[in-house]
Amino acid sequence: MTKKNVWTVEELVSLTTEVQTQTISYRGKEFKFQFCELKEKEEPKLKWLPDDVSEDDRAAWATEIGIERILLMIDKANKKNPEGASITSDNWNALPATLRYTITSEILQVETDNKGNFTIG
């Protein structure tokens, strides 16, 4: 029987207090960055959109919220570990878009096959 790797509450809570670092490969070189998970009260405040907003405007709104969330996660880590700061709110928009996309994906750990981890009932 295979032993499952299961999170403890303490480990999950530590994600919101400890700086996490990641190293990614980008164009043949390594790039290191840091971030820290957010608590609910630290999440960006959502402004609700009217029902008649176009799909393009909804997509732009979702992108804006996502970027704001990533920057809050990076800024939180930078405050806890200023020596490790490589990305800041000030230099984020100057980075290549493909690098920003890779960093965002890495932080959010976008996985299409994680649906099997959730069951209802």
Dump pLDDT digits (tens) for 24-80.
999 999 999 999 999 999 998 877 888 888 889 888 888 888 899 999 999 999 999
Q: Which position has the token pair 């709110």? A: 89
The model's pTM is: 0.80
Model confidence at 103, in pLDDT bands (50, 70, 90)?
Answer: very high
pLDDT in tens, 42-57: 998 877 888 888 889 8
Sign of torsion over alpha carbons 93, 96, 99, 101: positive
- Spatial separation of the C-alpha atoms in residues 87 and 110, rounded to whole Å: 20
How far is it, in rounded angstroms, from Cα 104 to Cα 121?
A: 32
pLDDT of residue 25: 95
Contacts of 24 (CB under 8 A, 6+ apart): 30, 31, 33, 102, 103, 106
